[in-house]
Amino acid sequence: MYLYRYRLCRNVRWFRLPVSLTIALLACGLAQAATGNNRASQLQTWRSEVKRQLIILAVVAMIGYLTNTLLWSLLLLFFLYSAFNFYQLRRLYRWLAQDHTSSRSAPPESFGLWGGIFDGIYRLQKQERRASAHLESIVNKAQDASAALEMAVVMIDHQNNLDFWNLAGETLLGLRYPQDRRQPVTNLIRDPRFAEYFEKKDYEQPLKLNAPGDSSKILEYQIALFGENERLMIVRDITQLHRLELMRKDFVGNVSHELGTPITVIKGYLEAIMDNMQDLDPKWQKPIRQMHQQSTRMENIVRDLLMLSSLETKQRPRQAESFRLGRLLSEIQNDTQQIYKKKSQRFTVDCPDNIEFIGDRGEMYSAFSNLMANAAKYTPAEGSISTRVRVEDQSLLVEVEDNGIGIDAQHIARLTERFYRVDVSRSSETGGTGLGLAIVKHIVSRHDGQLNISSSVGSGSCFSCKFPRSRLRLLKSEQAEGAKLVAAAPKPASKAKSKAAATD
């Protein structure tokens, strides 16, 4: 009896794996029956399968009981059921191992739960094929559209490797498919300026470089971040635009230079005539004064055009030069106040003594003198012009504010355009050239800054120059005290500099 029980337990242990697989398949069948579009029919299939299994179990148990072989009958039933499930698993495995990219791979024929499993997997495959075909059509349309573009579209993955590019990418950048795919972009565009621009991740301004392998072409690179540190790079050929811009700069520079000599001669003769004005007929005195006024204005325009041409052509100032910002603003204030002393305006400069600015002192003098001169021109008598310097977390802010006539909001966006005038008659009366704010914008931009303008009619204007913290150097307290003593020491009065007369 004990030997019989031992053999029975050992035989049952042999069938643990088939029974476990059977239970797992039944669970899969239940899960498959619980999902799908036709849930009611699947539940009905599950009930029918359970009934079938129970009937078979009851019949085998009855036969075993009648023949006094109940245990062996049940073991034979489990063995046959496990063999059937192993057979169906083998069919499923062989079917799944086939190529399912086409609709020819039909599922194996079966019944019951296995039939439902095969049919469910087949439906999922068809849905996946339809979704893949739809996505493939979208990708093909996007590739065809990008291939029609004249600009290069390059996708770069999170590891800085090339992932995709259109036909223009091969033309402009010399990329080759598939050799260059998954290659680092900095290995294919070998320019230190591009590597610095790419790694800096500051893509607000585009980068202009010569084309790789063709120095006659000028390319503009614009990069945008998306996804998980992935990048989309747009590359345009701006060679023609670059040539036109050079032609415009050369034309402005040459014309300004050629006009300078005759205007100087005309102005010189007019000044000589004005020195002997008492010898002229009174009817010629007014025309001579107007001619002298307009020649002076023309001379200012030529001077400002030459300065703009110089700012556009020469390199950015090196950051090695530094100067005390407070002393510069005080000097500009004194010069501007001397020019407009008849208006009895109040000038104030609020700048900490320990601030040094890193940049070109001459250019910054021209920029801030233009702003102060504009404020003085368009502020009535006994008005106030204040200049403030503030150090923020990541920037240095220089503001020139007045309580003058102000500017309408519709004109603010175009104030920095060349020769743009809010009121032509007002600019003619003040002798403005229309180039002052264009010069200021160029100088501020050359020092990595940004010019912002806020104004309202009747309430005055505020021109603020925002520079990065890298342009700032804070002196120690001992150096600041020494600078204050030097600034307070008496010094001979200097003539007002003509640059302060430049206007917008």
Instruction: Please give the torsion angle defined by the CA atoms of residues 303, 309, 313 and 319, in that order, rounded to the nearest 10 degrees.
Output: 50
Q: Report the alpha-carbon distance of residue 436 to residue 454 in Å, rounded.
A: 17
Alpha-carbon distance values, 462 to 15, 164, 420 (Å)? 90, 48, 19
Q: Report the alpha-carbon distance of residue 236 to residue 172 in Å, rounded.
A: 8
Tokens 């041409």 belong to residue: 309
- How, if at all, do strands 214-226 and 355-358 pair? unpaired
DSSP class of residue 400?
E
Find the helix or strand (DSSP H, E) in which 460 lies: strand 460-468
Q: Report the alpha-carbon distance of residue 73 to residue 53 in Å, rounded.
A: 15
Interhelix angle 70-96/16-34, nearest 10 degrees: 60
Give the pLDDT of the chain (504 residues) as one tens digit per residue.
333 333 333 443 333 334 344 444 444 444 444 444 456 666 777 777 788 888 888 888 888 888 888 888 888 888 888 888 888 888 888 888 876 666 567 778 777 778 778 788 888 888 888 888 888 888 778 777 777 788 888 999 989 999 888 888 888 888 888 888 889 988 888 888 999 999 888 888 899 998 888 888 899 999 999 888 899 999 999 888 888 877 877 777 777 777 777 888 888 888 888 888 887 788 888 888 888 888 887 887 787 777 777 777 666 655 567 888 989 999 999 998 888 888 888 999 999 888 889 888 888 898 999 899 888 888 888 889 999 998 888 889 999 999 888 888 888 888 888 777 776 555 555 556 778 888 888 888 888 889 999 988 888 899 999 998 888 888 775 444 444 434 444 444 443 343 334 444
Go through 180-214 and write b for each residue having 16 or more CB atoms within 10 A of its CB, e for each that does not: beeeebeeebeeeebeebbeeeebeeebebebbee
Q: Are 309 and 335 in contact (CB under 8 A)?
A: no
As a whole number of Å, the end-to-end CA separation of the chain is 116
475-479 contacts, C-beta under 8 A, 24 or more apart: 475/353, 475/354, 475/355, 475/356, 476/354, 477/354, 479/354
- How, if at all, do strands 450-456 and 460-468 pair? antiparallel
Q: Report the alpha-carbon distance of residue 155 to residue 234 in Å, rounded.
A: 9
Give Cβ neighbours of residue 467 (< 8 Å, ≥ 6 apart): 357, 395, 396, 397, 398, 444, 447, 448, 449
Give Cβ neighbours of residue 173 (< 8 Å, ≥ 6 apart): 152, 154, 165, 188, 189, 211, 212, 219, 235
Burial of residue 424 (CB within 10 Å: 0-12, 13-18, 19+) is exposed
Q: What is the pLDDT of residue 466?
A: 92
The token duo for 25 is 């398949």
Q: Report the alpha-carbon distance of residue 369 to residue 335 in Å, rounded.
A: 9
CB atoms within 10 A of CB 63: 13
Query: Among 206, 483, 188, which Cα is nearest to 322's?
Result: 483
Give Cβ neighbours of residue 96 (< 8 Å, ≥ 6 apart): 121
Q: Are 263 and 257 in contact (CB under 8 A)?
A: no
Tokens 């399968």 belong to residue: 49
Find the helix or strand (DSSP H, E) in which 57 lies: helix 39-66
The token duo for 7 is 């053999």
Radius of gyration of the chain (CA): 43
Tokens 């309202």 belong to residue: 456
Give Cβ neighbours of residue 23 (< 8 Å, ≥ 6 apart): none
* pTM for this predicted structure: 0.54
Q: Are 372 and 364 in contact (CB under 8 A)?
A: no
Q: What is the pLDDT of residue 307?
A: 77
Go through 299-331 and write b for each residue having 16 or more CB atoms within 10 A of its CB, e for each that does not: bbbbbbbbbbbebeeeeebeeeeebbbbbbbbb
Q: What is the pLDDT of residue 496?
A: 38
Instruction: Please give the torsion angle defined by the CA atoms of residues 440, 444, 447 and 452, in that order, rounded to the nearest 10 degrees.
Output: 170
